[in-house]
């Protein structure tokens, strides 16, 4: 990965172990919540309650409150699901992939990236259930002994989804938590109030930094990292197969699984950058999250954007080269249909704009970074909704062509889900060390050795 | 089950800790351990830990749960209630592999977690080491060597560590 | 923050001067186990619950406006099932006796028994007797009595020994699984025509062989019996 | 059993005698139910088994014999009566929809005076003295207003009433009617004659704005005959050729081989040119080249098929043109049969509405009975001011199903029984009489028309039943009458009652007046394919049934030619004002390729003000632009855009079929079928990795002949009625959520520069390699051993993956509880639930549903066969759509039988699979749409 570009150490030379720990831990333990945080907290709390209302109304009225219709039976719910899950990929990737590839600069970002992953994955997992016509029956996807003596239908990509996502959520939680344990011990030992010390004490399960513990911890953590990579790839491949394993024009494409995985990393990394910028500001982590980190991540985003461009063109080419009527109609609809403007917007966000990262200046300018990565995530959401709209609204039979029009509840649910995500993240940064302190210090130790 | 006696030597940096570890081990002390804020490479060897069996356990666990997942799919789709689904074969092995893979990963992970807890004895909220004053820095910027050997007392340890200049040397008494 | 209590001679700390008491470790371990175990056990119970009469209604007895005793009428008087359940051979619905049927006898017998008051009132006012359903299936299940009778499934196979029921009782769980068990291997339950309405019937020792014989005899296509469309439309 | 008693939705769904209080489909934890046996069990009635009775339903006064299925005393389904000449075993939308009409919650339930409920006795108390007085005056001022009546009993009673009241005048009002045809026949033959056209004996047919295939009392008979003559099969050369000349597309025009769009005025010239070409001494009018060529070719073709050539004149044509057409048919020895009009004409016939209104205004009407659903307050021509006239009437009685516009004007209102509730009799268009018998005890305290007419004779106790028996007992001994009565009720037709055919006199050649010169647009009015003249406006099934060709639901729109729209800068949905003679209406326009330039087509029957929750305020009332002397074509209409938009609600938005897409509904000339005769090397499935599943017992399949589909929608409503398909309402349809399991895709393809419509009924394909099944995570969509693609509602959790992966998009999802708690408007009222078919689950919210090939019928047949230890016979299973289809375009059967219809049709050269290249191996397949173009008109460009 492009992280290898970082010859020089990203950590401030001459920093001490305690100093770095202070940088990370003090915002949580010493400093009070700032005004911006409190405002953000209040707003997102309201949005979370809003999500509750959306769901309540959904269960009272039925999925008909959304814009879905007979040909376009899927809508925002599925798009949101794919989008959130995509975002929920970078974290584990950064941790695992960069760990395996010995990209030690990951230390500064992996913790909150993992948290992001966890929250995003959980929210993503919410949508397929909400989208069901009879959500209270979702557990029929689980193979369990029942008086009906019937089983899930294993050939369905949704069953794969269910398996993949539940695995992924459990895995992400454990991976995140196990990385957190030593830091929780640190918090326990730094905390002033007795309550906090008890809380962190219980959470850290009595971690005492024993060499034995470290030894086992290292073995487990690296093994999990090794498992994480194929898992992440499998999860979004399966999501890709939700569409690819069909025979609808614009869906039935072998490129979908890899294309979805790349898309996921792309949007995920974009989100990490966005959050990194905010965290750096909010928690004053300038020391540990340096321009070099952004530079590296921007390069990855750029690579993702190029990969997306390739995926799109492949899609167009195969569609055109296949020459099947429905496929051609679908292609024509992409570029000239009712959704064409959105489609062009999507291309701009995902392919055109990220090209600014060829410029070093842009890679290191936080404002640019922030705006571009936000645009990328908007673009990626548009991509997901368009995959659904374009195919389902213009299927094989012209007689069943019908467009999708979003309703208030479509938008409300989407926005409130973003609210919930932010809410969880805000809580996270107030309770947990947003950066892996033991990793930082380990990195510091290594740099000292390298210098020595 | 707290040890009758626990000796803790505190150091400023990992290197010294490593030397100390080697020395006490050569001296044939038992019950050696160290407490550090981050994993120090070579420490495990220095203290003479045997390689852990977590990963083999994960492999076995993963394979078992994967096998179970595949069997379950085969049993339910072929044996228990065979249903013609879109003219696909009852034993659609290629698709059965997907849930199988996920199950393997999950199984391996959970096994690993359990193995970790067992092999480390965590959670363990109460431990003599915590009683040592200043031990809280073991999770921050101090490096402790701990000896739990009834035949060793503070004096012998101090003598042995002569020259490495431990910041402090303390012993924890259980009753 | 941490204070370094350096001093002469190795200072001694006692094992109890720490954040958590000794029992905390055990508590934490139990806590961790129950964190996983308790939900698992609850789910398990929930699954098991589905099989209990509490959910299936098996062995359930309901009080009826008239305490009609199958034991007396079938076991005692030896009435044929079809005397009251007239349409059992013809249609989906076994049929319940019109008040008129009851009165064929009870206009002579027990003409002023108190328990029969509702029957007499029904006839007088032309209002039906409101029986309470005992063997109820969900409305998306299309069970047809006549075909089962025609293909050698006896009454008591599902309804149990009614000739020993003072008040009607739900004999079978009536779950889909229970239906499937028979639809998967009917040979275990099939009877020859003349025994279908037998009050209570115990399978002969060689039922398996007889059953297979009867499957051929009744021309039953077993492979079709587990189709969803057999019961659901 | 007290079937009239209001049933709970569940009870209907459950179809037992049990009133079940129950949760949704999920049915977890059985709730307590009650079972109510009969006190006295009616003989014949077996609990759990349905019954079928023959009866007759009226349209425009003419009878269509039907067989009505009832479950536990509830009528639940209408089917055709094979023995009846106007049904021949098939139905039309109106007949099918009568079921919902019966349970319409908006039906009037009580007698009212000035809107306040009163008793029958109070009514009698008010009426009888009047009648005494009237009798003294010889009935002066006593008037009857009815719709068209063919019922022998009612005619007899009216005659009898006249006996008591010599001064009684009977008026009949029919907004659609057949006035022009009658006057034309009188012009030609000098006396009332009605001509029955026999399409089944015609080889060449030219329709002058005639719509034999369109909605109407004769649609089924004509459709059947049409199908007989247009059966495209390998090696079968006989194939009718159909020409149509019309201003706005009718179903006949849509199915024609050659169609000429002309403004109404031009019809006269075409008719004259045709007559001239066939040797009539009439001035040969000037025609444009294209039209001349068309007429030339058509005339040539007609002449060439002497004896089997037929020209049809539409009701909209002037009487003179009808007469002219009679003359032409005479010349061609056309297959037409003359009978005395079934609907009484001349002296014993009724007077027109206009005369009544005149007298009313003059105060010459003292007592007025409005019977049989006549509704002049709504559908009288605009120049007849019924409203004010009604104020002059002292004692006006309205008798009808609804408290409609007319009821609002009358002091008294009496609720009328529904056709399925009362006794009666009717005659078909060919005079065949049949009995009407009730399927259910009247739901409300209604009085039959016969009873009211009985009152006029002072017979207070005359029941409809008695009246009908009296009528038919004449000339029969009591014994033979009883036998006759039972047999006739069973057969559903009075033997030998068809009107005698006779040879009409030589038709006279009429003087055809010059066409009225008019500027501006010409408004063409049509009866509506769904609400007819407005009487069905409150029927939700019909309102939501996509109109043929436009596929519009819940309303009407002003149809104009696309070029016209372009010229005026109008887009679909733009609201315009149509103005003529100081009267105007505002309506949304809709470009329709079949409309002649300069023409605006608008269907009648909408804009009802008082009818019920379903029909009120739907669409625009076209009657306001109609006058007595311009009933069908209103010239000189001014069209002004209003800048507003109100897009019509369409069930199908895209109808164009261009380029490769034509493979979806190929239109081929007859030669291709004939040439390919015998070639059966077709339809081998594409290669597949998967092992083929063996279907040992039955392999159900359906073949749909798109050549025969005339787009009448009967199958759609039949399916809706059979399978408990809910109505969702206009808003939901606009969202794109209509629930019809069977839809009639309508496509237009340019052929020789003319838009050529084609109809393609699309039910579930029941693919052997169904894409919907492997994607269902809970196995709710699976195959059974007979190859049915079954949808298990109670297993479905509503992922909708099946529908998103269905290339045919035939699946329907309950986005709301359309049938289960969130019904449209008043369709949730308990009485409506009585129409549910107990053999089919009522689907809950959140589950997917779709065409099942009427699995309940298959299952019933299978169970019967099994009980008798025999296989299901060929033709024993008939799906609802198949049984409704008047042209037998839908054929269902077992592929494992080599001689079954589907097996044989799959060998036809023009057999094809919709989207066959996807490898779904559909069980529902199609025959291409075959045209029989006239070579002389081929390659006709521009």
Nearest residue of B to residue A230 by CA position?
A: B105
With an 8 Å Cβ cutoff, are A160 and B102 in contact? yes
- Chain B nearest CA to A94, separation (Å): 19
With beta carbons under 8 A apart, name residues in chain B contacting C21: 126
- Higher per-residue confidence, A251 vs D680: A251
- The angle subtended at Cα A283 by Cα A277 and Cα A288, nearest 5°, is 70
Measured between CB atoms, does B25 come within 8 Å of chain A? no
Query: Distance (Å, rounded) from C-alpha C176 to C-alpha A241?
Result: 33
- Higher per-residue confidence, D684 vs D912: D912
- pLDDT tens track for D823-861: 999 999 999 999 999 999 999 999 999 999 999 999 999
Instruction: Please report the pLDDT score of residue A239 as a whole number.
Output: 93
pLDDT band at D941 (very low <50, low <70, confident <90, very high): very low
For A45, the 3-state DSSP assignment is helix
Instruction: Please report the pLDDT score of residue D8 as a whole number.
Output: 40
**Locus of tokens 């033997």:** D495
Partner chains of A (3+ C-beta pairs under 8 Å): B, C, D
Instruction: Please report the pLDDT score of residue A29 as a whole number.
Output: 86
With an 8 Å Cβ cutoff, are C6 and B168 in contact? yes
- Averaged pLDDT of chain A: 91
Backbone angles phi and psi of D761, in degrees to 5? -65, 130
Q: Which helix (H) or strand (E) holds C148?
A: helix C145-150
pLDDT band at D677 (very low <50, low <70, confident <90, very high): low
Query: A385-417: buried (b, 16+ CB within 10 Å) or exposed (e) per residue?
Result: bbbbbbbbbbbbbbbbbbbbeebebbebbbebb
Instruction: Please report the pLDDT score of residue D754 as a whole number.
Output: 82
D777 to A156, C174, D222, D920: CA distances (angstroms): 5, 25, 48, 20
Instruction: Please report the pLDDT score of residue C108 as a whole number.
Output: 87
For A345, the 3-state DSSP assignment is helix
Query: Distance (Å, rounded) from C-alpha C105 to C-alpha A386?
Result: 75
- pLDDT tens track for A114-168: 999 999 999 999 999 999 999 999 999 999 999 999 999 999 999 999 999 999 9
Strand partners, C61: C169
Q: Which of B8, B21, B37 to mutate to test the interface with A (most CBs of A within 10 A)?
A: B37
Query: Distance (Å, rounded) from C-alpha D654 to C-alpha A403?
Result: 11
Instruction: Please report the pLDDT score of residue B2 as a whole number.
Output: 40
- Chain C nearest CA to A404, separation (Å): 31
- pLDDT tens track for C92-102: 888 888 888 88
Write the CATH number of the domain with boundaries A3-451.
1.20.1630.10
Nearest-by-Cβ selection for B84 from D772, D776, D783: D783
**Side-chain-side CA neighbours of residue C55 (13 Å):** 15
pLDDT, average across residues B121-142: 88
Residue D271, pLDDT > 80, answer yes
- pLDDT tens track for D34-83: 777 777 777 666 776 778 999 999 999 999 999 999 988 899 999 999 99
Backbone angles phi and psi of D63, in degrees to 5? -90, 145
- Supply D299's token pair: 């005339």
With an 8 Å Cβ cutoff, are B124 and C11 in contact? no
C214 to A267, C71, C189, D246, D522: CA distances (angstroms): 65, 30, 10, 68, 76
- pLDDT tens track for D301-322: 999 999 999 999 999 999 999 9
For D551, the 3-state DSSP assignment is coil
Instruction: Please report the pLDDT score of residue D14 as a whole number.
Output: 38
- Chain C nearest CA to B169, separation (Å): 6
**Secondary structure of D79-120 in HEC code, one letter for each residue:** EECCCCCCCCCCCCHHHHHHHHHHCCCCCCCCCEECCEECCH
- Averaged pLDDT of chain B: 88
Q: Which residues contact A96 (CB under 8 A, 6 or more apart)?
A: A175, A224, A225, A226, A228, A229, A232
Query: Distance (Å, rounded) from C-alpha A228 to C-alpha A241?
Result: 20
- pLDDT tens track for B61-108: 999 999 999 999 999 999 999 999 998 999 999 999 999 999 999 999
Residue D10, pLDDT > 70, answer no
pLDDT band at A3 (very low <50, low <70, confident <90, very high): very low
pLDDT band at D326 (very low <50, low <70, confident <90, very high): very high
For D533, the 3-state DSSP assignment is coil
pLDDT band at C16 (very low <50, low <70, confident <90, very high): low
**Locus of tokens 């005890």:** D441
How many other β-carbons are positioned within 10 Å of the β-carbon of residue B101? Answer: 22
Partner chains of B (3+ C-beta pairs under 8 Å): A, C, D
With an 8 Å Cβ cutoff, are A402 and D777 in contact? no
pLDDT band at B166 (very low <50, low <70, confident <90, very high): confident
Nearest residue of D to residue C97 by CA position?
A: D37
Instruction: Please report the pLDDT score of residue D15 as a whole number.
Output: 38
**Locus of tokens 């994967």:** B66
With an 8 Å Cβ cutoff, are C17 and B131 in contact? yes
Nearest-by-Cβ selection for B136 from A189, A210, A223: A189
**Among A285, A259, A269, which Cα is nearest to A373's?**
A269
Query: Distance (Å, rounded) from C-alpha D65 to C-alpha A48?
Result: 63
Measured between CB atoms, does B155 come within 8 Å of chain A? no
**Secondary structure of chain C in HEC code, one letter for each residue:** CCCCCCCCCCCEEECCCCCCCCHHHHHHHHHHHHHHHHHHHHHHHHHHHCCCHHHHCCCCECCCCCCCCHHHHHHHCCCCHHHHCHHHHCCCCCCCCCHHHHHHHHCCCCCCCHHHHHHHHHHHHCCCCCEECCCCCCCCCCCCHHHHHHCCECHHHHHCCHHHCCCCECCCCCCHHHHHHHHHCHHHCECCHHHCCCCCCCCCCCHHHHHHHHHHHHCCCHHHHHCHHHHCC
Instruction: Please report the pLDDT score of residue D43 as a whole number.
Output: 67
Residue D20, pLDDT > 60, answer no
Residue D30, pLDDT > 80, answer no
pLDDT band at D682 (very low <50, low <70, confident <90, very high): low
- pLDDT tens track for A203-250: 999 999 999 999 999 999 999 999 999 999 999 999 999 999 899 999
**A-C Cβ pairs (cutoff 8 Å, strict):** 35
Instruction: Please report the pLDDT score of residue D235 as a whole number.
Output: 80
pLDDT, average across residues A393-421: 96
Evaluate whether A371 touches A345 at the Cβ level (below 8 Å).
Answer: no
Nearest-by-Cβ selection for C20 from A148, A189, A201: A201
With an 8 Å Cβ cutoff, are C232 and D30 in contact? no
Q: Is the dihedral of CA A109, A115, A119, A121 positive or negative?
A: positive
With an 8 Å Cβ cutoff, are D48 and C91 in contact? yes
Evaluate whether C77 touches C69 at the Cβ level (below 8 Å).
Answer: no
With beta carbons under 8 A apart, name residues in chain D contacting C219: 866, 869
Query: Distance (Å, rounded) from C-alpha D827 to C-alpha D917?
Result: 42
Residue D249, pLDDT > 50, answer yes
- Chain B nearest CA to C31, separation (Å): 10
Instruction: Please report the pLDDT score of residue D50 as a whole number.
Output: 79
How many other β-carbons are positioned within 10 Å of the β-carbon of residue D358? Answer: 14
Measured between CB atoms, does B156 come within 8 Å of chain C? no
Instruction: Please report the pLDDT score of residue C8 as a whole number.
Output: 44
Query: Distance (Å, rounded) from C-alpha D670 to C-alpha D667?
Result: 10
- Chain C nearest CA to A71, separation (Å): 24
Nearest residue of A to residue D782 by CA position?
A: A153
pLDDT, average across residues D601-612: 95
Q: Which of A251-255, A354-358, D491-495, D891-895 has the lowest mean pLDDT?
A: A251-255
Residue C173, pLDDT > 80, answer yes
- Supply D887's token pair: 């042209």
For D194, the 3-state DSSP assignment is strand
D319 to B43, C178, D537, D629, D668: CA distances (angstroms): 113, 73, 30, 12, 38
- Supply D2's token pair: 């007290």
- Higher per-residue confidence, D209 vs C57: D209
Nearest residue of B to residue A177 by CA position?
A: B113
Query: Distance (Å, rounded) from C-alpha D307 to C-alpha D303?
Result: 9
Nearest-by-Cβ selection for B169 from C10, C17, C25: C10
Nearest residue of A to residue D663 by CA position?
A: A325
- Supply D793's token pair: 């509602």
- Chain C nearest CA to D488, separation (Å): 27
Q: Which residues contact A70 (CB under 8 A, 6 or more apart)?
A: A400, A402, D736, D737, D738, D803, D809, D811, D812, D813
Q: Which of A441-450, C206-215, D732-741 has the lowest mean pLDDT?
A: A441-450
- Supply D396's token pair: 């006006």
**A-B Cβ pairs (cutoff 8 Å, strict):** 181
- pLDDT tens track for D385-400: 999 999 999 999 999 9
Query: Distance (Å, rounded) from C-alpha B105 to C-alpha B115?
Result: 15
**Locus of tokens 């014994």:** D479
Query: Distance (Å, rounded) from C-alpha D564 to C-alpha D598?
Result: 7
- pLDDT tens track for A328-343: 999 999 999 999 999 9
- The angle subtended at Cα A363 by Cα A362 and Cα A367, nearest 5°, is 60
Residue A31, pLDDT > 70, answer yes
Walk across the sheet containing C131-132 and list its strands: C131-132, D33-35, D18-20
pLDDT band at D693 (very low <50, low <70, confident <90, very high): confident
With beta carbons under 8 A apart, name residues in chain A contacting C18: none
Instruction: Please report the pLDDT score of residue B164 as a whole number.
Output: 81
Instruction: Please report the pLDDT score of residue A97 as a whole number.
Output: 85
From the number of C-beta atoms within 10 Å of its C-beta (0-12, 13-18, 19+), residue B161 rates as: buried
- Supply A412's token pair: 């409300």
With beta carbons under 8 A apart, name residues in chain B contacting D782: 83-85
Evaluate whether D336 touches D196 at the Cβ level (below 8 Å).
Answer: yes
Q: Is the dihedral of CA B21, B157, A190, A177 positive or negative?
A: positive
How many other β-carbons are positioned within 10 Å of the β-carbon of residue A32? Answer: 7
Nearest-by-Cβ selection for B123 from C13, C29, C226: C29
ipTM of the complex: 0.92
Residue B29, pLDDT > 90, answer no
Evaluate whether D731 touches D649 at the Cβ level (below 8 Å).
Answer: no
With an 8 Å Cβ cutoff, are D664 and A246 in contact? no
């Amino acid at each position: 990965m492009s992280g290898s570009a970082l010859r020089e150490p990203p950590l401030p030379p001459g920093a001490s172990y305690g100093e770095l720990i202070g940088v990370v831990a003090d915002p949580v333990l010493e400093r009070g919540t700032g005004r911006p945080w409190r405002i953000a907290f209040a707003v997102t709390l309201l949005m979370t309650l809003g999500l509750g209302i959306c769901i309540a109304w959904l269960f009272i009225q039925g999925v008909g409150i959304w814009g879905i219709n007979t040909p376009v039976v899927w809508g925002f719910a599925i798009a949101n699901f794919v989008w959130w899950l995509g975002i929920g990929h970078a974290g584990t990737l950064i941790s695992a992939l960069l760990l395996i590839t010995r990209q030690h600069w990951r230390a500064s970002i992996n913790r909150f990236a993992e948290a992001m992953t966890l929250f995003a994955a959980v929210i993503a997992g919410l949508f397929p259930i909400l989208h069901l016509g009879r959500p209270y029956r979702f557990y029929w996807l689980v193979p369990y002994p029942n008086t009906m003596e019937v089983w899930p239908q294993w050939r369905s990509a949704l069953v794969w989804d269910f398996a993949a996502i539940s695995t992924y959520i459990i895995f992400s939680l454990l991976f995140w938590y196990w990385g957190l344990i030593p830091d929780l011990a640190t918090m326990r030992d730094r905390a002033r109030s007795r309550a906090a010390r008890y809380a962190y004490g219980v959470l850290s399960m009595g971690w005492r930094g024993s060499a034995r513990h470290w030894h086992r911890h290292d073995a487990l953590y690296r093994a999990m990292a090794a498992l994480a990579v194929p898992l992440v790839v499998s999860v979004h491949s399966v999501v890709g197969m939700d569409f690819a394993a069909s025979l609808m024009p614009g869906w039935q494409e072998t490129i979908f699984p890899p294309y979805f995985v790349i898309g996921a990393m792309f949007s995920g990394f974009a989100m990490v950058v966005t959050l990194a910028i905010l965290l750096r500001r909010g928690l004053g982590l300038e020391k540990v999250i340096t321009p070099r980190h952004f530079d590296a991540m921007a390069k990855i985003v750029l690579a993702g954007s190029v990969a997306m461009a390739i995926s799109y063109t492949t899609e167009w080419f195969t569609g055109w080269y296949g020459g099947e009527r429905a496929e051609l109609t679908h292609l024509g609809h992409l570029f000239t249909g009712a959704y064409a403007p959105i489609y062009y917007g999507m291309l701009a966000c995902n392919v055109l704009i990220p090209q600014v990262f060829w410029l070093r200046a842009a890679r290191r300018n936080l404002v640019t970074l922030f705006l571009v990565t936000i645009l990328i995530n908007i673009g990626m959401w548009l991509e997901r909704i368009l995959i659904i709209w374009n195919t389902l609204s213009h299927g094989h039979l012209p007689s069943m062509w019908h467009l999708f029009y979003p309703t208030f509840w479509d938008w409300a649910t989407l926005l409130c889900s973003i609210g919930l995500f932010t809410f969880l993240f805000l809580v996270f940064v107030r309770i947990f060390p947003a950066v892996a302190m033991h990793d930082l210090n380990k990195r510091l130790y290594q740099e000292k050795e390298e210098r020595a | 089950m707290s040890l009758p006696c626990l000796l803790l030597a505190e150091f400023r940096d990992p290197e010294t800790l490593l030397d100390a570890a080697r020395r006490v081990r050569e001296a044939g002390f038992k019950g050696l351990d160290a407490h550090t804020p981050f994993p120090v490479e070579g420490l495990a060897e220095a203290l003479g830990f045997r390689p852990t069996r977590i990963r083999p356990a994960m492999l076995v666990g993963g394979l078992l749960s994967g096998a179970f997942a595949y069997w379950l799919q085969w049993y339910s789709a072929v044996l228990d209630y065979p249903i013609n689904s879109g003219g696909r074969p009852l034993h659609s092995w290629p698709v059965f592999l997907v849930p199988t893979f996920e199950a393997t990963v999950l199984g391996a992970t959970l096994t690993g977690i359990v193995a970790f807890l067992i092999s480390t004895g965590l959670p363990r909220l109460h431990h003599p080491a915590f009683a040592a004053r200043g031990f809280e820095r073991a999770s921050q910027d101090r490096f402790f060597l701990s000896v739990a050997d009834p035949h060793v007392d503070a004096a012998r340890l101090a003598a042995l560590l002569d020259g490495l200049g431990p910041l402090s040397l303390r012993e924890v008494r259980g009753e | 923050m941490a204070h370094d209590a350096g001093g002469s001679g190795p200072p001694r700390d006692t094992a109890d001067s720490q954040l958590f008491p000794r029992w905390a470790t055990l508590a934490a371990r139990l806590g961790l186990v129950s964190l996983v175990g308790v939900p698992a056990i609850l789910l398990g119970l929930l699954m098991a619950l589905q099989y209990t009469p509490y959910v299936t209604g098996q062995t359930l007895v309901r009080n009826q406006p008239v305490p009609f005793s199958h034991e007396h009428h079938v076991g005692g008087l030896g009435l044929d099932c079809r005397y009251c359940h007239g349409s059992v051979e013809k249609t989906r619905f076994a049929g319940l006796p019109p008040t008129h049927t009851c009165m064929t006898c009870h206009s002579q017998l027990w003409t002023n028994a108190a328990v029969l008051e509702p029957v007499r009132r029904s006839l007088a006012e032309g209002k039906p007797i409101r029986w309470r359903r005992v063997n109820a299936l969900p409305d998306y299940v299309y069970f047809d009595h006549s075909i089962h009778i025609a293909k050698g499934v006896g009454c008591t196979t599902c309804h149990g020994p009614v000739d020993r029921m003072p008040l009607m009782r739900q004999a079978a769980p009536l779950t889909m699984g229970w239906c499937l068990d028979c639809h998967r291997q009917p040979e275990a339950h099939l009877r020859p025509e003349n025994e279908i309405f037998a009050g209570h019937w115990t399978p002969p020792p060689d039922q398996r062989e007889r059953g297979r014989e009867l499957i051929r005899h009744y021309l039953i296509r077993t492979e079709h019996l587990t189709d969803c469309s057999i019961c659901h439309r | 059993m007290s079937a009239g008693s209001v049933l709970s939705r569940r009870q209907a769904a459950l179809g037992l005698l049990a009133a079940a209080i129950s949760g949704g489909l999920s049915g977890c934890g059985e709730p307590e139910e009650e079972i109510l046996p009969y006190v006295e069990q009616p003989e014949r009635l077996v609990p759990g088994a349905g019954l079928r009775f023959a009866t007759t339903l009226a349209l425009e006064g003419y009878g269509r014999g039907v067989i009505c299925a009832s479950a536990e005393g509830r009528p639940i389904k209408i089917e055709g009566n094979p023995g009846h000449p106007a049904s021949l075993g098939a139905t039309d939308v109106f007949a099918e929809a009568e079921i919902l009409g019966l349970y319409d919650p908006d039906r009037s339930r009580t007698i009212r005076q000035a809107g306040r409920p009163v008793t029958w006795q109070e009514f009698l108390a008010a009426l009888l003295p009047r009648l005494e007085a009237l009798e003294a005056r010889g009935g002066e001022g006593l008037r009857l207003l009815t719709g068209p009546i063919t019922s022998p009993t009612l005619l007899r009673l009216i005659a009898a009433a006249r006996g008591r009241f010599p001064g009684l005048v009977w008026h009949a009002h029919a907004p659609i009617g057949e006035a022009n045809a009658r006057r034309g026949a009188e012009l030609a033959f000098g006396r009332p004659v009605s001509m029955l056209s026999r399409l089944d004996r015609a080889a060449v047919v030219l329709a002058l704005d005639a719509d034999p295939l369109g909605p109407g009392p004769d649609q089924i008979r004509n459709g059947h005959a049409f199908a007989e003559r247009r059966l495209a099969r390998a090696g079968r050369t006989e194939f009718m050729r159909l020409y149509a000349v019309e201003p706005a597309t009718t179903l006949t025009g849509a199915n024609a081989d050659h169609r000429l769009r002309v403004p109404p005025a031009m019809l006269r010239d075409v008719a004259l040119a045709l007559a001239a070409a066939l040797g009539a001494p009439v001035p040969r009018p000037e025609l444009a080249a294209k039209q001349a060529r068309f007429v030339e070719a058509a005339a040539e073709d007609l002449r060439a098929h002497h004896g089997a050539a037929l020209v049809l004149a539409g009701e909209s044509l002037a009487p003179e043109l009808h007469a002219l057409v009679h003359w032409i048919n005479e010349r061609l020895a056309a297959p037409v049969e003359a009978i005395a009009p079934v609907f009484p004409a001349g002296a014993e016939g009724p007077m027109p509405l206009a005369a009544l209104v005149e007298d009313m205004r003059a105060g010459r009407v003292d007592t007025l009975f409005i019977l049989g659903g006549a509704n002049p307050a709504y559908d009288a021509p605009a120049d007849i001011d019924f409203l004010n006239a009604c104020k002059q009437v002292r004692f006006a009685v309205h008798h009808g199903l609804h408290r409609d516009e007319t009821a609002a004007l009358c002091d008294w209102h009496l609720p009328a029984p529904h056709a399925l509730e009362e006794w009666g009799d009717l005659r078909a268009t060919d005079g065949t009489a049949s009995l009407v018998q009730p399927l259910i005890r009247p739901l409300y305290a209604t009085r039959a028309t016969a009873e009211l007419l009985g009152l006029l004779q002072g017979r207070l106790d005359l029941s409809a039943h008695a009246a009908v028996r009296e009528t038919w007992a004449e000339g029969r001994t009591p014994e033979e009458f009883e036998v006759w009565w039972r047999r006739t009720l069973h057969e559903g037709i009075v033997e030998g009652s068809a009107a005698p055919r006779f040879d009409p006199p030589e038709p006279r050649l009429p003087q055809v007046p010059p066409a009225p010169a008019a500027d501006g647009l010409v408004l063409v009015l049509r009866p509506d394919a769904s609400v007819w003249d407005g009487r069905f406006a409150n029927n939700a099934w019909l309102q939501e049934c996509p109109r043929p060709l436009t596929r519009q639901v819940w309303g009407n729109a002003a149809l104009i030619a696309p070029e016209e729209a372009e010229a005026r800068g109008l887009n679909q949905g733009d609201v315009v004002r149509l103005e003529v003679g100081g009267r105007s209406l505002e309506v949304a326009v809709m470009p329709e390729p079949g409309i002649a330039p300069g023409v605006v087509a608008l269907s009648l029957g909408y804009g009802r003000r008082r009818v019920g929750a379903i029909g009120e305020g739907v669409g625009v009332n076209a009657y306001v632009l109609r006058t007595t002397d311009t009933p069908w074509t209103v010239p000189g209409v001014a069209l002004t855009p209003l800048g507003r938009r109100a897009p019509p609600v369409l069930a199908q938005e895209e109808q164009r079929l261009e380029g490769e897409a034509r493979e979806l509904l190929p239109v081929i000339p007859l030669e291709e079928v004939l040439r390919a005769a015998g070639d059966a090397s077709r339809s081998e499935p594409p290669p597949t990795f998967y092992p083929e599943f063996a279907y040992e017992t039955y392999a159900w399949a359906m073949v749909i002949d798109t050549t025969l589909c005339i787009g009448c929608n009967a199958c759609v409503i039949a399916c809706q009625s059979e399978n408990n398909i809910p109505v969702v309402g206009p808003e939901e349809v606009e969202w794109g959520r209509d629930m019809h399991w069977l839809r009639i895709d309508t496509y237009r393809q340019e052929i020789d520069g003319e838009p050529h419509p084609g109809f393609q009924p699309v039910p579930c394909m029941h693919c052997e390699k169904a894409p919907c099944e492997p994607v269902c995570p809970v196995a709710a969509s699976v195959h059974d051993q007979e190859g049915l693609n079954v949808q298990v509602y109670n297993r479905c959790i509503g992922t909708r993956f099946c529908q998103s992966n269905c290339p045919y998009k035939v699946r329907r999802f309950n986005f709301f509880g359309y049938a289960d708690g969130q019904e449209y408007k008043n369709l949730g009222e308990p009485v409506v639930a009585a129409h549910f078919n107990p053999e089919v689950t009522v689907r809950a919210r959140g589950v997917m549903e779709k065409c099942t090939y009427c699995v309940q019928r298959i299952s019933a047949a299978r169970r019967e066969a099994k009980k008798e230890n025999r296989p299901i016979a060929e033709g024993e299973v008939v799906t609802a759509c198949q049984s409704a289809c008047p042209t037998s375009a839908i054929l269902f059967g077992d592929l494992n039988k080599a001689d079954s219809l589907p097996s044989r049709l799959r060998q036809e050269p023009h057999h094809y699979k919709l989207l066959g290249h996807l490898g779904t191996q559909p069980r529902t397949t199609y025959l291409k749409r075959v045209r029989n173009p006239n070579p002389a008109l081929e390659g006709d460009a521009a």
